Amino acid sequence: MTVSKFVCFCLVLICFNAFNQSVLRFVPCLGSQAIELGKEYTIAEGRISFQSIKFYVSDFRTLTENGKLIKHWPTTLVNLEDSSSQSIGEIDSAAVRIDFLLGTDSLSNVSGILEGALDPINGMYWAWNSGYINVKSEGLYRDSTGKEFPFEFHLGGYLAPNATVRFLSFDVNPQRGIPQLVILMDDWLTYAFEKGIYSLMIPGKISAELATKVQASIQLTYRHE
Amino acid sequence: MNRLIFLLFVLISGLLSAYRFDLPIFKSKISIPKKWPKPTYDLSEKAISEEGFQLGRSLFYDPMLSRDSTISCATCHLQYTGFTHVDHNVSHGIDGRKGTRNAPALINLAWKKFFHWDGGVNHIEAQGINPLTHPAEMDNTLAEVIRRLTLNDDYRKQFQRVYGADEITTAKLMNALSQFTRSLISSNSKYDQVLRKEKGVTFTEQEQSGLVIFRQHCVSCHQEPLFTTHQFKSNGLQSDPIFKDLGRFAITGKVVDSFLFMIPTLRNIEFTFPYMHDGRFRKLKEVISYYSDKIDPANSHLSRELNGPIHLSDKQQKDLLAFLYTLTDKQFLYNPRFSFPKK
């Protein structure tokens, strides 16, 4: 094989790979807009801006048609302050299914102090009531009259019956484009706002209920470059 | 004259060497007292090294961990009083800010599964985050604590020695602190010596009578040998009007857990005053008179083990008190291994 043929071969290989694998991202949205921190958006007759959006994703897996595991990712913390944290990783072209936990598994919550994404230094750990905050969202909501409601949602708690970790599973077809997991923030936030809940920092029934709403607000869509 | 000088010289050099060489009082290996239950946490040499223990000890006594470098763990957990905060109903932290609870004694923690009066903390390593970051305690952030320790050559070297890498992380910091707190074992009171049938140690008649009363009325909750079942119960105290502490309910959200608190150990109880989660009793006598005469049987939270005042005569109260004093372990309270580390 000549050198030029070899280079050509490599290029084809690289293109093939780039075409067949794609980086999956988590994208918190309002309507069809991807959220940027600090920017104002319209939500249910009012305006909203976000100071922080952070959540844990554990046991992210890709699976083949016959349920074989392709890849398993360690727990990551998605933090909108750092857009690289929104990328989970390449989804293999053979993958037909992905599944993951939104939040931390219960073992992580009773194992003392962990490192990396689970280091309490990341501000996602409750000291007074041991355990992780699985989903955090803070910001300011202004209703149609201009009245301001700062909001703070720290959803966590690992104990039954109010555990807040949620399992999600989606069919995926990388041929259709680059898969992304969209979180429709307005879905669950308006639900809370309508109930007059703007601050929630303890585990319990309401946290568990909201965690289920967040779970339902996540959809798999495809991006086309 | 020469002989006198020589003798003085011998004496002084002897004294000096006693300072220079820190004679180990205990082996670094922790021995679990015979007939005690299995501890929750590993106390083997694998889990607690001499260097790890010493690092934990330095951290425990170091005010650098607090925001303004004024408060260390030992400010609220004083060795001579069983590592509790004497003279304060509820503990005082930074800027004199008051907490809402009495600092518990730190004794035989390695046998516990849950920490704090409401059991909100589920791991001994996770406990340390509370005091470090609580606004009424040390009021610092984890990032700042790690930053300060990382800037300190001495600590970096110590962490290197214990963990084989000088990068300081939250997990290592908390593990080091817990190597110290896990080692705080008290098992050499007169009570222990009598039970071990040590030569020449016996209960007085009064203490023996107190033990009988104790085993009749108290042991169902303050179970030997740790003097606690580690459960959450109510001994019938009326809720305090200021803090309105709901106890275990705040953690579990279950109505049946309202006003339940951890059953504290009674080891070294002579010195761990004030008593109860809010420090409402200053004297042990008051506690005994509470159990004897003041429990409100109509209190709906009162746990089954008690169904009202236990009615002890004056003599019985004194006997019970005498027995409780036998739980004092001077070797623990004055063990130089647990005291402020002199550099």
In a domain, residue B48? The reply is yes
Say yes or no: A129 contacts chain B, CB-CB below 8 A: yes
Say yes or no: A107 contacts chain B, CB-CB below 8 A: no
Decide if pLDDT at B302 tops 90. yes
Residue pLDDT, tens place only, B34-80? 999 999 999 998 899 999 999 999 999 999 999 888 899 999 999 99
Q: Would you place residue B87 in the very low, low, confident or very high pLDDT band (cuts 50, 70, 90)?
A: low
Residue A31 confidence (pLDDT): 86
Residue pLDDT, tens place only, B251-301? 988 899 999 999 999 999 999 999 999 999 999 999 999 999 999 999 989
Q: Residues B304, B272: one domain? A: yes
Query: Can you tell me the mean pLDDT for B305-322?
Result: 96
> What is the count of structural domains for chain B?
2
Q: Residues B114, B164: one domain? A: yes
In a domain, residue A47? The reply is yes
Say yes or no: A161 contacts chain B, CB-CB below 8 A: no
Average confidence score pLDDT of chain B: 88
Q: Would you place residue B3 in the very low, low, confident or very high pLDDT band (cuts 50, 70, 90)?
A: low
In a domain, residue B343? The reply is no
Query: Digits of tens for pLDDT over chain A (225 positions)?
Result: 455 665 555 444 444 444 445 799 999 999 889 999 999 999 988 999 999 999 999 999 999 999 999 999 999 999 999 999 999 988 998 999 999 999 999 899 999 999 999 999 999 999 888 999 999 999 999 998 989 999 999 999 999 899 999 999 999 998 889 999 999 999 999 999 999 999 999 899 999 999 999 999 999 999 876
Q: Residues B154, B208: one domain? A: no
Residue of chain B whose Cα is closest to the Cα of A163: B252
Q: Residues B103, B89: one domain? A: yes
Interface contact B130-A114, CB threshold 8 A: no
Residue B90 confidence (pLDDT): 64
In a domain, residue B109? The reply is yes
Interface contact A121-B133, CB threshold 8 A: no
> Can you give the residue range of the structural domain that contains B239?
190-327
Q: Residues B142, B216: one domain? A: no
Instruction: Give B27 or B214, the one with higher predicted confidence.
Output: B214
The enclosing domain of B240 has a CATH number of: 1.10.760.10
Three-state SS sequence of chain A: CCHHHHHHHHHHHHHHHHHHCEEEEEEEEECCEECCCCCEEEECCEEEEEEEEEEEEEEEEEECCCCCEEEEECCEEEECCCHHHHEEEEECCCCCEEEEEECCCHHHHHCCCCCHHHCHHHCCEECCCCEEEEEEEEEEEECCCCCEEEEEEEEECCCCCCCCCEEEEEECCHHHCEEEEEEEHHHHHHHHHHCCCCEECCCCHHHHHHHHHHHHCEEEEEECC
Residue B23 confidence (pLDDT): 33
ipTM above 0.85, yes or no: no
In a domain, residue A4? The reply is no
In a domain, residue A132? The reply is yes
Decide if pLDDT at B21 tops 50. no
> What is the count of structural domains for chain A?
1
Q: Residues B243, B209: one domain? A: yes
User: Which residues on adjacent β-strands are paired with residue B138?
Assistant: none
Q: Residues B19, B135: one domain? A: yes
Q: Residues B322, B273: one domain? A: yes
The per-residue DSSP string of B149-169 comes to: HHH-HHHHHHHHHHHSS----
Q: Residues B181, B293: one domain? A: no
Residue B242 confidence (pLDDT): 75
Q: Residues B133, B231: one domain? A: no
Pair of tokens at residue A152: 């703070």
> Can you give the residue range of the structural domain that contains A163?
23-223
Residue pLDDT, tens place only, B111-130? 999 999 999 999 999 998 98
In a domain, residue A93? The reply is yes
Smallest Cβ distance to B174: which of A110, A113, A162? A113
First-to-final CA distance of chain A: 34
In a domain, residue A87? The reply is yes
Kindly report the pTM of this predicted structure: 0.88
Interface contact B253-A119, CB threshold 8 A: no
Of B185, B220, B254, the position where a domain reaches its end is B185
In a domain, residue B333? The reply is no
Pair of tokens at residue B287: 């506690």
Q: Residues B195, B181: one domain? A: no
